[in-house]
Amino acid sequence: MSILKVARMGHPVLRKAARKVEPAEIKSPAFQKLVDDMIETMREYEGIGLAAPQVHEGVRLAIIGIDEGEGRTHDIRVLPVINPEVTPIGKTTAEDWEGCLSLPGLRGRVVRPDQVQVRALDRRGNRVEFDLEGFPARVAQHEIDHLDGVLFIDRMKSLETLTFIEEYSKYWTED
Ligand code: ZN
């Protein structure tokens, strides 16, 4: 496995819509390696999700991380999704902080639907369908946005909360 280079804001690959993955492609060693490398890259840089365009691959593949750890243990379960579609469930929205490995050092508040259904293929090419709520729902929407060339700053209603991490820790956190 290898740690991949992460594209930063300004690289055109982040602004292009990614192409659909052909089901026949999924089982190829190259595609499976990309999935493994993306998981390794996400863990290395302590991301909670990663989309293929962020590692310069214009395909509809994303890793959704679900933090199952409690307190100080960070046990991140990874869900690779291929050709994912996300649909809001209900009308409830939530506002929370987001960051992105492609916008290092920045945080901003984004309003998104709080509950979503994700339909995709898994890394074996099987159809999967699951519901997410709260932060994992946010991660899924953020990652799937990347497949359409959309960054979290595009989703901010106002740039007033766009903050560097240092100032975020200083002025925007309770503890
Ligand atoms: Zn991102």
Per-residue pLDDT reduced to its tens digit, 28-75: 999 999 999 999 999 999 999 999 999 999 999 999 999 887 665 567
CA of 51 to the centre of ligand 1 (A): 7
Residue 70: what pLDDT? 67
CA of 132 to the centre of ligand 1 (A): 18
What is the CB neighbour count within 10 angstroms for residue 69?
A: 10
With bands split at pLDDT 50, 70 and 90, how would you rate the model's confidence at 131?
very high
pTM: 0.94
Q: Is the pLDDT of residue 174 over 80?
A: no
Residue 64: what pLDDT? 97
- Annotated catalytic residue, options 143, 160, 166, 167: 143
Residue 73: what pLDDT? 58
Active site residue 143: yes
Residue among 63, 85, 86 at smallest CA distance from 76: 63
- Stretch 100-106: mean pLDDT, rounded? 97
CATH fold label, 12-172: Peptide Deformylase (3.90.45)
Rg (CA), the chain: 16
Residue 67: what pLDDT? 84
Q: CA 114, CA 133: separation in Å to the nearest integer?
A: 6
Residue 168 makes CB contacts below 8 A (sequence gap 6+) with 97, 107
Residue 175: what pLDDT? 59
